[in-house]
Amino acid sequence: MPYFDAASSAPLHPVAQQALLAALDEGWADPARLYREGRRARLLLDAAREAAAEAVGCRPDELVFTPSGTRALHDGIAGALAGRRRAGRHLIVSAVEHSAVLHAAATHQAGGGTVAEVLVDRAGRVAPGAYAAALREAPGATALACLQSANHEVGTVQPVAEVAEECAAADVPLLVDAAQSLGWGPVEGHWSLLTASAHKWGGPSGVGLLAVRKGVRFAPQGPADERESGRAPGFENLPAIVAAAASLRAVRAEAAAEAERLRGLVDRIRARVPELVGDVEVVGDPERRLPHLVTFSCLYVDGEALLHELDRAEFSVSSGSSCTSSTLTPSHVLRAMGVLSEGNIRVSLPRGTAPEDVERFLDVLPVVVRGVRERLGAPREPAGAAEPAADLVVDSLGKRCPIPVIELAKVIGEVPVGGLVTVLADDEAARLDIPAWCEMRGQHYEGELPAERGVAYRVRRRV
C-alpha cells in the first residue's frame, strides 16, 4: 500500500533501525555516570550530538536533544522570550507557522505579551521585507521572530536567509522551524535558534533538536535540571537519539539524488492532476518548494470522503481540508493563503517511492473524485446560459463543506450576467471556499454581510 504522507511522519530509515537496535545493547546506561557503561553511553551521546550539529550547521555545545519537535519549539520560544524579557515582549511569527508555534504565541499573548502575524502571498510565501516592516511597526521592542524554513502543508520554501538579515539588522533573534526541510539540507542564513523533529526525516519519533547559537540570550523555563545543558530536562532517550543522528547523516548523503528523483514525480502529479480532474487548484509555490510534496484542492468534494476512498484504493494521503472530522474550520495555512480548502489533498512522497505507484495514483484519483462528486450532487458541467432577471438567495444554513459551494455552482447560471447570488451559510469553511470558488470560476466575490443566522456571502455573476 503506497504511503504518501511523509510530511506527517516518514517511514523509519534502515540506518535508523540498525542504529536503534545497536544502541539498545550499548546505550542503556546513564551517560552522566563515570563507570564503564556510563562512559560508553556518553560516547554514543557525544557522537550523536556531533553528527546532528554538523547537519544543522552549529557547534555541538549549541545543540540539545528534546523529547519532540513540538517540545523543541515550545522550549525554544519560551526560553528566547524569557531571555530577552528586558529587551521587549513582542513576538513576530508568520501566518503559516506550524500550530505548535501559534499555540506558543497564544500562550505568550495570554501572559501579557504582544504578537504580530506576517501575512503570506497566495503561494504561501513571506514577501521580501515583510519581517523588516513588522519589526518597524511593532508596538514595542521585539524579543523574538519565528519563521519556518518550509511549509508543512503546501511545501513552500521561505526566504529564511533574507529574513535573518532583516532580523539581524534590528538586533532581533530569529527562530527557524526546520522540521520539514532539515533532512534535505542545512538552513541557509544567520539564524539564531533552530528546531527540528527526527520522525520527519526517517528517524524515530520522540526526538527533537533545539539549537541555540552562542550569544543568544536564553533562559530555560521550568524547574532546573542538569541534563542537556538544562534545556531539556529528564533522562535522555539515548537509543532513539543515536538512531536519529545516524539517520540524519544517512538521508543527507542521499538527499541530492533523491530530491531530484522525487521532484520529477511531484512535477508529474502537479501537471497531470489538473488535466485528469476538473475544477482543481494546485496550491503552493510551483518552484520554491520541497521536492517531495504537492498539495491540491478539488471543488465540490467532501475531504473526509475523499481520504476514505483513497484509503480504500490503498493510498495513504493527508489533508488540510475543512471537510474532515478532525476540524470544523479550514486549515490556518490555506486560510492565510486565501486558496480553496475543500477537497484538499497533500501528497508527500517518502524516499524510495516507485514511479509506478505515482502512476497508479493518477489513475485512481479521477475515479475517486468523480464518485464523491456524484454522491454529493455536484454540477457535472459549467453553469448554463439562462438569464432570468432576478437575483437569488441560496439557503445553506446547517449544511457543511462543500455543500454551500455546490449549491452556489448549481444556481449561478440562473441569474443574468451582473446578477447577484447570496449564499446563507453558517459553516466557517464557506468564508474561505466561496471567494476561492469565485477566483477559480471567474465570478466576482462582493464580500459578506451579517445575517440573522450565519453569514450572507454575495457573489456577482461575471461570466
For residue 128, the one-letter residue type is P
> How many other C-beta atoms lie within 10 A of the C-beta of residue 104?
25
Element (DSSP H or E) covering residue 260: helix 238-276
Helix (H, G, I), strand (E, B) or coil at 87: coil
The active-site residue out of 146, 323, 401, 438 is 323
Q: Are 233 and 225 in contact (CB under 8 A)?
A: yes
Query: DSSP string covering 95-157, please?
Result: TTS-HHHHHHHHHHHHTT-EEEEE-B-TTS-BPTTHHHHHHHT-SS-EEEEEEESB-TTT-BB
323 is catalytic: yes
DSSP 12: P
Q: CA end-to-end span of the chain, whole Å?
A: 43
Look at the block and give the residue holding cell 516592516: 133
DSSP 323: S
Residue closest to 336 by CA, chosen among 93, 137, 135, 109 = 93
Quote the cell numbers at residue 334: 490555506
Element (DSSP H or E) covering residue 367: helix 355-376
Order of strands, sheet of 280-283, starting from the edge strand that comes earlier in the sequence: 280-283, 293-298, 344-348
**Size of the chain, expressed as the number of residues it contains:** 463
Catalytic residues: 323
